[in-house]
Amino acid sequence: MQLLRSLAISTRLAVQTPWRRRQVQRLCELGQAPMSVLFYHRVADEQPNPWTISNGEFERHVDYCRENFELISLEEVQQRLDSGHSPRPSVTFTFDDGYSENCNFALPLLIRHKIPCTYFVTTENVRDGHPFEHDLRLKCPLPINTIEQLKAAADGGIEIGLHTANHVDFNQVRTVEKLNEEIVEAKDNLEAMINGPVRYLAVPFGLPQQMRPAVIETARKCGLKGICSAYGAYNLIGDDSFHIRRFHGDPQFNRLRNWLTYDDRKNRRRPILPDQDVLDMDPEIADTVRLPECVFS
């Protein structure tokens, strides 16, 4: 089944690529080239979970992006959005969680090629070395980055970002105190760990139901420069630069190419972020209300 889907994507790409390239050419002429931000989790040849990609496949992704796109930082994405000018299609690399094995191959590869990358970590897992709950549920605990590894990565040019204190699902958070613990206090703790600034937050799960107004506002107020979602979208001129949209660096190479080969029709399926937050409601009813699930326009 997976092979059939890959073949179908490859066939569709072959047919649609000339048309998609014309779309991108028009956008470049207008200074509105799309900006793609990829997120990964773990790069290693042992693949005990669906969010691991092999060393060889990751290098294939890197080589493809180096050959076909301008590679820029999150800060440059924001500068282009703020200036209203994006001259060429670009790709930005990011990582979530903080798996130790990423220091064996993936991060050295990016550093060697001087490719910008923001590396988001969950502070309490780093602090105590405790495996992620999502790996424990699979009965496969995996090693977590140490503080020393993060400092070494930062020294090599990797930007360290925040992925909350406890990999929290913000759709389940109902108090300001918990928001502050997971964002404000975690930011301060991470800055103390790496002895440097933390400018960006990647929201765990990163779907519209986690991208709540209270989360975004808390991130703004504590001095973060931007916040990253993970629900699959391009960054386009006219978007709010504080919210950076990302999609998964899919281990299936044809699916990755399909996303990176810009298609304006994907923008019609952009989720609508919630405009109301239970933290703004009467405390007596807030606990009984759930935010809306992902709604597609």
Q: How many domains does the chain have?
A: 1
Q: How confident is the model at residue 94 (pLDDT cuts 50, 70, 90)?
A: very high
Is residue 233 within 8 A of residue 207, CB to CB? The reply is no
11 is a domain residue: no
User: If 0-12 CB within 10 Å is exposed, 13-18 middle and 19+ buried, where does residue 154 land?
Assistant: middle
The Cα 170–Cα 108 span in angstroms is: 32
The Cα 160–Cα 116 span in angstroms is: 11
18 is a domain residue: no
Q: How confident is the model at residue 19 (pLDDT cuts 50, 70, 90)?
A: confident
288 is a domain residue: yes
- Is residue 38 classed as helix, strand or coil in its secondary structure? strand
At 157-168, the pLDDT tens digits run: 999 999 999 999
Is residue 105 within 8 A of residue 63, CB to CB? The reply is no
- The residue-averaged pLDDT of 126-139 equals 95
136 is a domain residue: yes
Q: Is the pLDDT of residue 272 over 90?
A: no
267 is a domain residue: yes
Tell me which of 71 and 277 has the higher pLDDT.
71
Q: What is the CATH number of the domain that holds 223?
A: 3.20.20.370
> 89: domain range?
33-296
Q: Are strands 295-296 and 271-272 parallel, antiparallel or unpaired?
A: antiparallel
